[in-house]
Amino acid sequence: MAAKPQVRNAQDTGSAPEDREKHPVDETLPPLKMATSGLQHVAAMYAGVVAPPLIVGAAVGLSGTELTFLTGASLFTAGLATFLQTLGIWKIGARLPFVNGVTFAGVAPMLAIVDTTDDKSDALPVIFGAIIVAGLLGFLAAPWFSRLVRFFPPVVTGTVITLIGVSLLPVAFGWAQGPNPKAEDYGSTTFLSLAAITLVVVLLLRRFTRGFLKQVAVLVGLVIGTLIAIPFGVTDFSPVTEADIVGFPSPFHFGAPQFALAAIISMCVVMLVSMTESTADMLALGEIVDRPADEKTIAAGLRADTLGSAISPLFNGFMCSAFAQNIGLVAMTRIRSRFVVACGGGFLVLMGLSPVAASLISVVPRPVLGGAGVVLFGSVAASGIQTLVKAGLEKDNNVLIVAVSLAVGIIPITAPEFYHAFPETAKIILDSGISTGCVAAVLLNVVFNHLGSGKDDDQVTAPMEPGEDISGSATAKAAHVH
């Protein structure tokens, strides 16, 4: 009886006859459907993959050609990481329909590393060295980490994800003002108008379209915004005309990796955040595809994430993690085959091997990127808030955890000089609100919810009214409100 739903699903998706007794995750689809469905996954995550190298590359001061190279490298390594996760080898890979790519969690710490590096030409080698070490340590820790999920409940993961989005929003605002902060036209009405138009286009597409077009609204918004920007003379097509049709991301293009302790510690914290997100994503996707992720699956998936991250810098890529937006795409389309996502990984590799394809994103003016970035980065913060909704914020303990952790994490944004008296090595970690906020959330969660009784059930039903008895019970407070 259990096989009948699988047979029906196989017929619905047009799978080959020999696959009809397989679980939907292990089915292969006809070539055309496999290709189009794989492209849809690429389209849904493309903007998320290219944003981190654009942010970091701009901070380092890379030229248009070098920025194109860095973007192509991120596409190439995202494809390799996706292969590891979907197809798997040995005990590596969850073998679920996961798309892997550059994690947003690493952007703010990498920017902190760039800011504290005197010679900007050394920034990328330092970042790559830190990612290699963090990836290898994460690979070794994967089996044990899969057993420590209880220390990363929604109150922790939601806080961290919210901080990721909030930390990246200033980048979008900077883009919206123009490419050069020292230029006279920086923040001009022309640049801000282009950003606003792009934002409106993305919002309209998300509101009034469906299906595939709705999924690629950010990508379409970038195209329309770029076309509108052409008459204003802010669109530069030279990266495309100078790019080769075929190229390979040569290993260590920006120099041999350098290993700085502070940078390594910072990226190890990011790796913990990334592993936490991936664990949550695997649990969610396992339910969606009707193949629940057990401890063994989670450990294998984390090995793929961490090994992909360790390999990525060899080809000038950054830390990799599962892309949550593609989980929504699986849920929407009901196409659960991991081979579809592997096909998408193939497209990513091909795009990474074609500098012309990678250079297209370099054509997009910064203000246009800024308008789309508001949606992209704001959505990350909104995802964190959605997670916090499930975190049990009616409890005083969790409210305190979120309140203090967010406050600690927002310090580098609201008070950039707050840690000016600290050593430069310490500032690499402290200037990353994501890292400090994550550490604060984990430690506070242990103190309030694990040490001692950890059973403070006082509920926060409303803000305290003036003159209210501070010693009143939770029941009395609730009665006062009602």
Q: In terms of pLDDT, which residue wins out, 165 or 452?
A: 165
pLDDT at 403: 94
- Report d(CA 47, CA 44) in Å as an integer: 8
Q: Where are the beta strands (DSSP E) in 192-268?
A: none
Is the pLDDT at 349 greater than 50, yes or no?
Answer: yes
User: Given this model, what pLDDT does residue 405 score?
Assistant: 93
- What one-character-per-residue DSSP string does 162-184 give? HHHHHHHHHHHHHHHT-S-TTST
**Mean local confidence (pLDDT), 30-43:** 79
- Band of residue 191 on the pLDDT scale cut at 50, 70, 90: very high
Give the pLDDT confidence score for residue 115 in this predicted structure. 85
Average pLDDT, the chain: 80
pLDDT of 243 over the 80 cut: no
Q: Which of 61-65, 241-245, 249-253 has the lowest mean pLDDT?
A: 241-245
Q: For 9-21, how does the pLDDT look when each residue is reduced to its tens digit (9 = 90+)?
A: 443 444 444 445 6
Amino acid 130: pLDDT: 94
Contact 120, 61 (CB under 8 A): yes
Q: Give the CB-side neighbour count of residue 176, counting CA atoms within 13 A.
A: 19
Residue that wins the pLDDT comparison between 418 and 326: 418
CA-to-CA dists, residue 368 to 52, 219, 240, 446, 449, angstroms: 16, 11, 18, 43, 44
Q: What is the pLDDT of residue 8?
A: 41
**Higher-pLDDT residue of 181, 75:** 75
- Position 137 scores a pLDDT of 94
Phi, psi (degrees; rounded to nearest 5) at 321: -155, 165
pLDDT at 139 over 60: yes
Asked if 278 and 439 count as a contact pair (C-beta separation under 8 A), the reply is no
Task: Report pLDDT for 19.
Answer: 46
| Element spanning 478, H or E | helix 474-481
Confidence of residue 428 (pLDDT cuts 50, 70, 90): low
Residue 289 pLDDT greater than 60, yes or no: yes
pLDDT at site 204: 94
Q: Is the pLDDT of residue 420 over 90?
A: no
Compute the average pLDDT of residues 102-126. 85
Which one of 17-21, 259-263, 293-297, 475-479 scores highest in mean pLDDT?
259-263
Instruction: State the pTM of this model.
Output: 0.66
- Top pLDDT among 407 and 172 is at 407
- Min mean pLDDT across 36-45, 187-196, 197-206 is at 36-45
Of the candidate ranges 255-259, 308-312, 419-423, the one whose mean pLDDT is the lowest: 419-423
Q: Find tokens 């009405």 and name the residue.
A: 189
Classify residue 233 by burial, with Cβ atoms within 10 Å: 0-12, 13-18, 19+. exposed
Q: What is the mean pLDDT of residues 121-138?
A: 93
Q: 76-80, 382-386, 438-442: lowest mean pLDDT where?
A: 382-386
Residue 168 has pLDDT above 90, yes or no: no
Look at residue 276 and tell me whether its pLDDT is greater than 60.
yes
The per-residue pLDDT for 458 is 52
The mean pLDDT of 82-94, rounded to a whole number, is 90
